[in-house]
Amino acid sequence: MSYTSFIETKMHELPAISLSSPPVEIDQATFPFQRAITEWAIHKGRAAIWADTGLGKTRMQLEWTRNMGERTLILAPLAVAGQTVREGAKLGIDVIYARKQDDAGLITVTNYQMLSAFDPTAFGAVVLDESSILKSFDGKTRTRLIETFADTPYRLCCTATPAPNDLNEFGNHAEFLGVSTRRDMLATYFVHKDDGWHIKGHAVEPFYRWLASWAMMVKMPSDIGFDDDGYTLPPLRVHQQWVGADMTKVAQKSGRLFMVGMERGISGRSAARRATLDDKVAKAAALANADSAQWVFWCGLNDEATKLANLIPDAQNIRGSDSVEAKAHALQSFADGDLRVLVTKTSIGGYGLNLQNCHNMAFVGLNDSYEQWYQAIRRCWRYGQKEPVNVHVILSEAESAVLENVMRKEQQVERTSREMVSAIAGYEREELANDEPHMSRYRTDRAIGADWELLLGDCVERLNDLPEQSVDFSVFSPPFLNLYSYTASDRDMGNSKTDEGFYEHFNYFLDSMRRVMKPGRIIACHVAQVASTLVDDGVIGIKDFRGHVIEAFVNAGFVHHGEVCIDKDPQAQAIRTHSKALLFVQLKKDASWLRPAIPDYILLFRTPGANAVPVHPDINNEEWIEWARPIWYGIRESDTLNVAEARTEKDEKHIAPLQLGTIERCIRLWSNPGELVLSPFAGIGSEGYVAIKAMRRFVGVELKPEYYEVAKRNLRRATEVRTQGSLFEVS
């Protein structure tokens, strides 16, 4: 495989899929923004439409289905299947509701619960309607959906805009669509810290581009450049209604003498909810019995729903134990206006239904789930609603903390969601305009000094700009798997999805090194063992990075010449890495987790062939006695170029340039003054800085533009220092 082809395999964007038949024209009754999104999804073949409630996802998915020209299975929540059938009729699309394979048609809709009754291989396309409920399913069901349709050519997911910090939702969708596994998504764009996953600073833009390559996230048509006419929602009015409670009785029901502090705990909230059940139900019933308007009541307890339905003459309670047919019929009757009062749980009727016919609802008690709160309200408060929507929340004072928590989540999600939609909007517009994706923006440059040359770009390719067998000595520190990923470029070896992917990329690099190195000369490669983590690798331990690098060099035709171990301070390493294997507290807690500090190594490799020019190190015997030891002591970890000016707010991980003392020993041992020293991973120019001051010439390659600019300044400074005669004086 060519290197260009290999880089293309690392691209994280989802390529468009060619259709087996040309798409038909989309119904003209569809709004312009809906047509644009649908055409984009048709072009992609596998995509997600994350559009806010009421923006017409059902219509878009049906147009997508018709255009794919494949036998299609649509999976939808309870009662949404009937809506899909009716919406299809409006568009002239024949959608069959079926509960088993024998009844399936060209386009079939069924409930998620019926999946086992269908043969997935009989369908060329699948749609997950209200696909956000994937995260509500247990892991077994989610995995089953992903595995069941892994070979289905065309896949579409439709749901409302996800919460910005819901990595499970992003990961589930990406994995279902075949874009990326959740693990690969996290490894590529996120870093794990003590308080959870955070997006890497330099990965913000690439992450949004990646999302836009397979998902449209839209809260308003204007987000993607269209008119918002007709999509301004009426007011939402939240009414808080409180009932009193005998706190002593509530406490006693929980086995406590006093209620103080109980409202902050689960047991206290549950006790308060049950102790005030009758009062809340009575207040809720009074709301519905005071007028003739439609009402929907969301209950969390079976007793709440049963008692409430008994107090409202024309109410129907939809229970979890009801048959699928009974649930669907009741929900549809309410949507059609034939049923005035609906009593149910959010888990039953809170997803996917279009209930714009109703503008009054009440929560009889509440739990801490913002997702259920949001979805339930959006059944009525959605685009197409003509009346102000009244939401009554009926609680006891002991449950006030629940409402505070939900309101806090709502404000946070709305703010961050709007920020995310705004951030991704530009990339989505590029997608809709069919602009060429440019996930990995790549540019090259070249800078030349009196005794140095610096190349900006991918070292695998830029080394081809050097003459064959022109390098006398090379010293460098490559990426350590994905431990340090400084850029979001697919050309960055540190951005490999797997360890195997890294070594495959590394092999291309070694081919380029073979071409430029002189026969018989030495390469000094700096490495360290890499810790495995429970999050990424499933186990806490050590990966033999050193051994794999040696194997890669040998397989590429180099001779393993030797190695040096560099002593490390365990306390300094513990402070930097927070590894429990080095902490004093672990010494007393459980020493089975303790291990020595991870040392650095300089691995030496000799290029095949005879050396034409003997190397005469500019060192004395005393220095050789010290440097010939298998372990180098006295290398100060802080003996590095100042990296502060090279760091940006986007650098998420510790920048660890190679110590100048280590570089000095390598250069003086294995090269002659005046010879050419190469660093293919030049970083901020540390190897070049030392080489120039040691009277050598230098050529380096660096991928990251910010480091390239700093390296140029450091190389110029090294030339000035050498001119002034201050050999090895590090400023």
pLDDT, tens digit, 9 for 90 and up, residues 453-487: 999 999 999 999 999 999 999 999 999 887 665 67
| Whole-number Å distance between alpha carbons of 462 and 503 | 19
- What's the pLDDT at 449? 94
pLDDT, tens digit, 9 for 90 and up, residues 356-374: 899 999 999 888 888 889 8
Segments of 381-476 assigned E as strands: 389-396, 445-448, 452-456, 473-476
Q: Which residues are paired to 218 by β-bridges?
A: 51
pLDDT, tens digit, 9 for 90 and up, residues 388-401: 999 999 998 878 88
Tokens encoding 439: 């996930």
- Contact partners, residue 229, CB within 8 Å, separation at least 6: none
pLDDT, tens digit, 9 for 90 and up, residues 386-433: 899 999 999 988 788 888 988 988 888 888 888 888 888 888 888 888
- Contact partners, residue 582, CB within 8 Å, separation at least 6: 570, 571, 573, 574, 594, 595, 597
Strand 559-566 versus strand 600-606 pairing type = antiparallel
- What's the pLDDT at 11? 67
Q: Which residues are paired to 360 by β-bridges?
A: 390
Q: Under CATH, which number does the domain 8-224 receive?
A: 3.40.50.10810
- What's the pLDDT at 15? 55
Give the DSSP per-residue string, 492-508. -GGG-SSHHHHHHHHHH
Q: 437 vs 147, which has greater pLDDT?
A: 147
Give me the helices (H) in 74-118, please: 80-90
Q: Which of 110-119, 158-167, 469-478, 656-665 has the lowest mean pLDDT?
A: 158-167
| 285-294, 322-331, 595-604 — most confident range | 285-294
Domain made up of 468-668: CATH architecture:
3-Layer(aba) Sandwich (3.40)
The pLDDT of residue 80 is above 60: yes
pLDDT, tens digit, 9 for 90 and up, residues 104-154: 999 999 998 899 999 999 999 999 998 877 665 556 778 889 999 999 999
Rounded (to 5) percent helix, strand, coil in the chain: 45, 20, 40
pLDDT, tens digit, 9 for 90 and up, residues 238-271: 999 998 755 445 444 444 444 444 444 556 677 7
Tokens 């959870």, residue located:
196
- What's the pLDDT at 421? 86
- What's the pLDDT at 644? 39
Would you kindly state where each structural domain of the chain is located, as residue ranges? 8-224, 236-406, 468-668
236-406 folds as Rossmann fold (3.40.50)
Question: In CATH terms, are 8-224 and 236-406 the same topology?
Answer: yes
